[in-house]
Amino acid sequence: MKIVPQNLYNSKHIQVLAHDGQSCILYKDIKLPHANQEAYISSHVLTIITEGEKRVSTYDGEVITIHGNEMAFLAKDIYVISDFSPAYSTFKSFLFFFDDSIIEEYLSSRQWHLSSNGRQAEKVFKADYSQIIQVYTESLEPLFSKIQQNSKDLLRLKLLELLQLITMSDSSQTFIHWLTSINDKKKRNLLDFMEQNFDKSLKVEDYAHLTGRSLSSFQRDFKKQFNRTPIQWLIDKRLEKAYELLSSRNLTVTDVAYEVGYENISHFIKAFKQRYQQSPKQFLLHQETRV
């Protein structure tokens, strides 16, 4: 599974206009449909579709469809499965990823006097791809192609400019309310994050990155919180879920392996057998004889 934006930088479908850490501006051009593209979004991202259609399914089953000439702003820390459907054989979009510091700088630069009123932030803010935003996006490629130095400073300014343009285009102030609400989120709670995402096909290094920690500090904090190493805990949680799925649902061994975060089926079979003294297939056969 990809962690974005960083895993997009080397894609053949992506043109990187500018990037700095978790902030970047990307242009995507796809000629054929792409289905079931799994990703974990680690920075707030604005997607602008200029051609084609994009369907995003979140881990809790919500489906978000973004049509051509629409834009959608998704809050970070969500797991998604995306389908890209080209119209007239092409899918084109701009992707703008925002580090927390960019959002915080923009909100602190104005006295908005807004709050989320204790409401949970929506995952997405959608709007039309307005003419003023089109003028902005059309200037990006020629601008960044001419800049060789200090592009990181320019990236920050252009992302701040984009936030201002969206705000100006939104007379209802819905966008500012949404932006404020996602910024109200506190530092990620390690226990909550791991409980919600242990079954994703992520490595320990990925979990460290996604919780805002270095690998060493993540391992230290994890051991203090769970009294086990991350690898030990992940194996236990994934196998416990696998046991439940094999017991209660009509799934194949391969289906279960993928659903609990194993991409290598043989590794899953070996781990399951070590834990339960029988292979997943033997376990399923035993379940059938009990029915």
CA-based Rg of the chain, rounded to a whole angstrom?
22
Alpha carbon separation from 113 to 107, 110, 192, 262 (Å, rounded): 10, 9, 30, 46
Q: Using one digit for the tens of pLDDT, what is the confidence trace for 67-100?
A: 999 999 998 888 888 888 876 678 999 999 999 8
For residue 5, report the phi and psi dihedrals to the nearest 5 degrees: -90, -15
Beta bridge partners of 93: 28, 49
Torsion of CA 42, 18, 182, 77, to 10 degrees: -10
Given a contact cutoff of 8 angstroms between Cβ atoms, the answer to whether 87 and 75 are in contact is no
* Least trusted range by pLDDT, from 35-39, 195-199, 275-279: 35-39
Q: Is the pLDDT of residue 3 over 70?
A: yes
pLDDT of residue 250: 82
Alpha carbon separation from 68 to 79, 95, 125 (Å, rounded): 23, 14, 16
- Chain-centre distance for alpha carbon 223: 26
d(CA 284, CA 271): 16
Considering only residues 109 and 16, tell me which one the structure prediction assigns the higher pLDDT.
16
| Cis preceding-peptide flag for 230 (omega within 30 of 0) | no
Query: pTM for the complete prediction?
Result: 0.78
Q: Is the pLDDT of residue 288 over 60?
A: yes
Q: What is the mean pLDDT of residues 197-216?
A: 87
Categorize the per-residue pLDDT at 233 as very low, low, confident or very high, splitting at 50, 70 and 90.
Answer: very high
Q: Using one digit for the tens of pLDDT, what is the confidence trace for 8-67?
A: 999 989 999 999 988 999 999 998 788 788 888 989 999 999 999 999 987 667 889 999
Q: What domains, with CATH codes, occur in the chain?
A: 2-183 (2.60.120.280), 190-290 (1.10.10.60)
Categorize the per-residue pLDDT at 228 as very low, low, confident or very high, splitting at 50, 70 and 90.
Answer: very high
pLDDT of residue 149: 62
Given a contact cutoff of 8 angstroms between Cβ atoms, the answer to whether 64 and 75 are in contact is no
d(CA 110, CA 209): 30
d(CA 274, CA 212): 33
Q: Is the pLDDT of residue 120 over 50?
A: no
**Selection from 175, 2, 180 nearest residue 73 by Cα:** 175
- What lies within 8 Å, CB to CB, of 44 at 6+ separation is 73, 74, 75, 76, 97, 98, 100, 103, 182
Categorize the per-residue pLDDT at 115 as very low, low, confident or very high, splitting at 50, 70 and 90.
Answer: very low
d(CA 88, CA 85): 10
d(CA 64, CA 261): 24
